Amino acid sequence: MSNRFKVASRVSAMKGSATLEAARKAAELRQSGIDVIDLTVGEPDFDTPEFIKDFAISELKAGRTKYTPSAGARKFVSSVASFFNDQFGADLSPNEVAASCGGKQALFNAVCTLINPGDEVLIPRPYWVTFPEIVTFAGGKSVFIDTDRSGFILTAEAVAESITERTRLLILNSPNNPSGRVIPPREIRRIVEICAEQNVFVLTDECYLFFVYPPAEVYTAAVLPPELRKFVCIAGSFSKTFAMTGWRIGFTIANAEWTRAMIKLQSHSATHPTSFVQYACADALANRLQMLESIESMLAEYRRRRDWLIPELNGITGFTCAMPEGAFYAFVDVRKLLSEKFPSAAAVSEYLLNNSHVMVTDGAAFGADGFLRFSYATSLENLRQAVDAIKHLFGTD
Ligand code: PLP
């Protein structure tokens, strides 16, 4: 009898994370002494705010080191609900909130508790790399909605055209990774209305919730009226807007029934995110003004970088980039460069790496051939160096 290890088909059908692979490659090049300018990173270059670290130390010292309920500590779920209620005028109760190990697990819990084999899941393209892989794991079928025509901003019409009898879920992500585009609040509401009419659920990834540059508006689906909100699950995260990627903490907001299913699933996997981290986040959320101040100062710096970077990129021959309203990514259209020399955007990114040591992510990883993603979660100094090197290679208009 053969005892050769064979990966379960559910998992072998999944692709590895292209963005984590790019980060690994950048680290490897740096280790081998090559001074790469890494614009692939999907994490803030800011440290976690000091006051959150202090809360974590106090909670750790106070002995918050044991299991919490799988839903998360009462203090955590209550403070998430209160934060949304106080900040946005939502009407959440703690039993609609569950803690998770980052936004990624929130998404995983939401998809795996809803999707049966064969169910169709609508995913606007370009998409964050993980969405289709979770759907594959759950046995669902990803059906992509191209948003190229509308500048990568999903419209209610496009959703209406894509719904079939088998559609069970739509995954939204605004502000968007990789495009940085933000769907206007009115459009989000129309999208949810159309889905609700057809009995389709909406999973909205709000990991970049606060990273929105005025005049675009911060918007959470938590403020939708109850008859719409019962179709919605929000995946939230402390990773990006609170600069806490390594702490692995996020949450879901969904109707109580969906929430209970997610807690049941989590009770047999991670159980819950780290206890003292939950308590520290609860303390931080209770200091809402301090939280908002720290977000504001990070956002001001991202905005400075964005306002410098996008016009510079648009000045490079063959590069076109729409102004992103949120997150910290620029999604650059390089289709004008495609030729025998550069048959794909991947060839452009390889050329950049080999000739200027600038590392960016190929848009194909996000389902958008002909595009490159530049992260500006790095210093203006690095961005200037990268842009100078690229200008040197491609010239300016
Ligand atoms: N959703 C989006 C759109 C992301 O870009 C990321 C991280 O890159 C995540 C979710 C997951 O973040 P985390 O699991 O660290 O909260």
Per residue in 249-277, pLDDT (tens digit) is 999 999 999 999 999 999 999 999 999 99
Please state, as a whole number, how many other Cβ atoms lie within 10 Å of the Cβ of residue 19.
Answer: 21
Task: Please compute the mean of the pLDDT values over residues 88-93 and round it to a whole number.
Answer: 97
The residue written with tokens 């998409």 in the block is 127
- The rounded distance, in Å, linking the Cα atoms of 134 and 149 is 26
pLDDT over 70 for what percent of the chain?
99
In this predicted structure, what is the pLDDT of residue 30?
Answer: 84
Question: What is the number of the ligand 1 atom nearest to the C-alpha of 177?
Answer: 3
**Residue 246 DSSP label:** G
Q: Cβ(84) to ligand 1 under 6 A?
A: no
Check pLDDT > 70 for residue 225.
yes
Q: Cβ(42) to ligand 1 under 6 A?
A: yes
Q: Cβ(250) to ligand 1 under 6 A?
A: yes
Q: Cβ(100) to ligand 1 under 6 A?
A: no
Q: Ligand 1 pocket: which of 19, 209, 234, 239 to mutate (most atoms <8 Å of CB)?
A: 239
**pLDDT band, residue 1 (cuts 50/70/90):** low
Task: Please compute the mean of the pLDDT values over residues 330-339 and round it to a whole number.
Answer: 97
List pLDDT tens digits, range 100-156: 999 999 999 999 999 999 999 999 999 999 999 999 999 999 999 999 989 999 999
In this predicted structure, what is the pLDDT of residue 17?
Answer: 76
Token readout for 84 is: 């949304």
In this predicted structure, what is the pLDDT of residue 97?
Answer: 98
- The rounded distance, in Å, linking the Cα atoms of 192 and 181 is 18
In this predicted structure, what is the pLDDT of residue 395?
Answer: 93
- Give the chain's mean pLDDT: 95
Check pLDDT > 90 for residue 67.
yes
Q: Ligand 1 pocket: which of 128, 176, 181, 182 to mutate (most atoms <8 Å of CB)?
A: 128
Check pLDDT > 80 for residue 374.
yes
Lowest mean pLDDT among 15-19, 222-226, 300-304: 15-19
Cite the beta strand spans of the chain per DSSP E. 37-38, 97-100, 120-125, 141-146, 167-173, 201-205, 232-237, 250-253, 320-321, 329-333, 358-359, 361-362, 371-375
Q: Cβ(109) to ligand 1 under 6 A?
A: no
In this predicted structure, what is the pLDDT of residue 52?
Answer: 97
CB 233 within 8 A of CB 109: no
CB 219 within 8 A of CB 24: no
**pLDDT band, residue 27 (cuts 50/70/90):** confident
User: Which residue's alpha carbon is nearest to atom 8 within ligand 1?
Assistant: 42
CB 207 within 8 A of CB 120: no
Question: What is the number of the ligand 1 atom nearest to the C-alpha of 327?
Answer: 5
Asked if the bond preceding 132 is cis, omega within 30° of 0, the reply is no
Q: Is the dihedral of CA 302, 304, 305, 311 positive or negative?
A: positive
- The rounded distance, in Å, linking the Cα atoms of 170 and 164 is 12
CA of 126 to the centre of ligand 1 (A): 15
Q: Shortest CA distance to 144 belongs to which of 164, 165, 123?
A: 123
Q: Cβ(103) to ligand 1 under 6 A?
A: yes
Q: Cβ(104) to ligand 1 under 6 A?
A: yes
Kindly report the pTM of this predicted structure: 0.95
The residue written with tokens 């169910």 in the block is 119
In this predicted structure, what is the pLDDT of residue 2?
Answer: 67
CB 38 within 8 A of CB 241: no
Q: Cβ(229) to ligand 1 under 6 A?
A: no
